[in-house]
Structure 1
Amino acid sequence: MSLPTSSVVICAYTLARWSELRTAVRAVVDQAVPADELIVVIDHNAQLAERAREEFMPLHHTVNVVENNHPRGLSGARNTSLDLATGDIVVFLDDDASPRTTGWLGAILSHYSDDAVYAVGGSAYPVWPDKRPAFLPAEVVGEPGELDWVVGCTYRGQPTETAQVRNLMGANMSFRREPIVALGGFVSGIGRIGRVPLGCEETELCIRLRQTHPDAQIVFDPSIVVDHTVSADRTRPRYLITRSYAEGVSKAAIARLIGAEDALSSERAYTAKILPRAVGRETSAAARGNPVRAWGAMAVVASVGAAGIGYARGKLSTSR
């Protein structure tokens, strides 16, 4: 069976990630199953757009560099790509993420042989600037930790085998193009704008997709891997707090748009089951003579607290 056509999209906003962006673009161009088009969307940065056109468009005739013609931010940039994309499947890759193998795109597209599959995503593993921060808990070195979502990566609690999920992570996700275009694409105002660490626009879209198409399958395949560069500023405790707070604000916005039950269904299970185990494990390790592990327990508590405050603030702003 032939694979569906594909449009791979990379959104970028800053020259500070130029090296990572270049690596991502070349990794897509080198895929064993080539993309029918690669759209690089530059978010309101004329200097970056000029440099990207000069370097990337000569690489291959399928590469196109365009500027965001929607409101500034990741949602607007992604919606710009939806205005232009022609592939049956639209694949989104972060500008600081790179497919681990040349089989990445082929593995994504193979899932769409099932007509019930509307979206497919994979794992994102962190590439630390030095080493994993001591305050981020992890049961096994090299495996996802409970708070790795803070740095945009796969976290403990997600499926370890191919499974249906509520939503995908933005660094490594794909959709059938026509259904999400019909839904109006990504909602502006809840996603990341530059360095402001809001998020959840892909969560909102996935939930809205399932609400509109109840039988649609959203598939997470952890074997489809990208390596996600973590900048130094994201390895500091302050970022953990600000990102967790922003997550709470974004979740409040989603709850307003699509209802609290759908918006918080996965988070309730994660908070009730996964995080308490992490606190107990890290506390026990600290008591057994590894005091550094206490930082992991404190980080979990701080993250939950910051997210709760953000959610309350978001709800209050909504009510006003």
Structure 2
Amino acid sequence: MTLGADLPLTIVICSNRPDSLPAAVTRTAAAMGPRDRLLVIADMPARHLPTLPTGASSPPSRIRVICNEGNQGLAHSRNKAMKEATTQHVVFLDDDIVPTAEALTRIREALTAGAHVTGTRITAHLQGRRRPWFLTSGQLHYLGSHAPAQPASIWGGSFAIDVEHARLLGVGFDERLGRIGGSLISAEDTTFVREMTARGATATILHDAEVQHLIPAHRLTLSYLLRRAFWQGRSEARRNDARRGIAKEWHRNRSGNGARPVRAALALPYTASVLLGVCREAVTRSRTSAADAETRSDR
């Protein structure tokens, strides 16, 4: 028997996109083990919730849906999932991930072997579209996908945690981070992993276990990618890691495939967008602090 083959998992899909949920449930149910449960955290009012598919692989008894009754954000949804999960181990999958039974088996093995947090490689699936010239492997992280020639890292699109150990360490998802509304704020996942490992948790990266990330056409535009880079800068500043974040993004944007002059040229606008995001976050924080100080002085 495979190590951890009978380990039950709560597989969580956090989504604020009604149109994406039915297909996400279908894909995930097809990969689930017999003892797994599917928990959907719908970051939307119940009236916006679509009809979700059920069948032999995903009977209603194995699916639970919780609505936030408004857009509370991805980090809020992840924290709620940790509280509501009925198993010790939780797997988070984005609503545009294509999981496989093999990837979930590898996750079970890692958790059974003692990992407190583990994640798979995430590969961009462009759905038959050609990769545009302004998107090298150095910008794939803006699409939540790993560069094929680079080592993977643990990202929120496909990762698992030992909820009990996270609770023991007092680690949760920072609700200042993570997608909310129309923003592209991120880093709630990597910040969580960073805090877990800083407090002694064991992390295992499954470099050769892969899931696919479905990339829609509108994300393969320069305007989207620059906007995503801008919000990356805001995210780095919000978690007080701006200096290192800018250097990291400069290196990433220069390290893609393709001719060196093209990579260097692309690194400039992308990293400039990151820097602009850092500055915008600093201005916003300064204004908020000034407003708070004025409010206190009026009391």
State the TM bucket, normalised to the shorter chain: 0.7 to 0.9
- Structure 1's unaligned 5+ residue stretches are 138-144, 285-293
Q: Deviations over 1:267-300 (max 9, x none)?
A: 745634x544449x5245xxxxxxxxx4x54332
> Aligned letter for 2:163?
R
- Structure 2's unaligned 5+ residue stretches are 290-299
2:205 aligned residue? 220
> Aligned letter for 1:136?
L
Work out whether 1:126 is the aligned partner of 2:124: yes
Aligned counterparts, 1:79-228, within 5 A: 79-99=79-99, 101-115=100-114, 117-129=115-127, 130-137=129-136, 145-155=137-147, 158-159=150-151, 168-182=154-168, 183=170, 185-213=172-200, 216-228=201-213
> Aligned letter for 1:187?
D
Work out whether 1:309 is the aligned partner of 2:276: yes
> Aligned letter for 1:110?
E
Work out whether 1:242 is the aligned partner of 2:234: no
Q: 1:271 aligns with which of 250, 258, 279?
A: 250
Rounded Cα–Cα distance in structure 1 between residues aligned with 2:32 and 2:17: 29
Residue 212 of structure 1, CA deviation:
2.3
Residue 8 of structure 1, CA deviation:
0.5
Residue 45 of structure 1, CA deviation:
3.3
In structure 2, the CA distance between the partners of 1:170 and 1:121, relative to structure 1 (3 Å rule), is: same
Q: Deviations over 1:59-104 (max 9, x none)?
A: 32211111126861111111221121021211000011111x3222
Instruction: Using structure 2 for the length normalisation, give the TM-score.
Output: 0.82
Give the conservation status (yes or no) of the 8 Å contact 1:191–1:200: yes
Is 125-134 or 63-72 further displaced after alignment? 63-72
**RMSD of the TM alignment (CA)?**
2.7
> Aligned letter for 2:73?
G
Q: 2:16 aligns with which of 13, 17, 31?
A: 13
Identity of aligned residues (%): 23
Rounded Cα–Cα distance in structure 2 between residues aligned with 1:217 and 1:42: 30
Rounded Cα–Cα distance in structure 2 between residues aligned with 1:242 and 1:270: 14
Secondary structure, aligned partner of 2:138: coil
Rounded Cα–Cα distance in structure 1 between residues aligned with 2:17 and 2:213: 16
Rounded Cα–Cα distance in structure 1 between residues aligned with 2:219 and 2:35: 31
In structure 2, the CA distance between the partners of 1:244 and 1:270, relative to structure 1 (3 Å rule), is: closer
Residue 185 of structure 1, CA deviation:
2.1
Secondary structure, aligned partner of 1:146: helix
Rounded Cα–Cα distance in structure 2 between residues aligned with 1:47 and 1:131: 37
Instruction: Using structure 1 for the length normalisation, give the TM-score.
Output: 0.77
Secondary structure, aligned partner of 2:145: coil
> Aligned letter for 1:173?
F
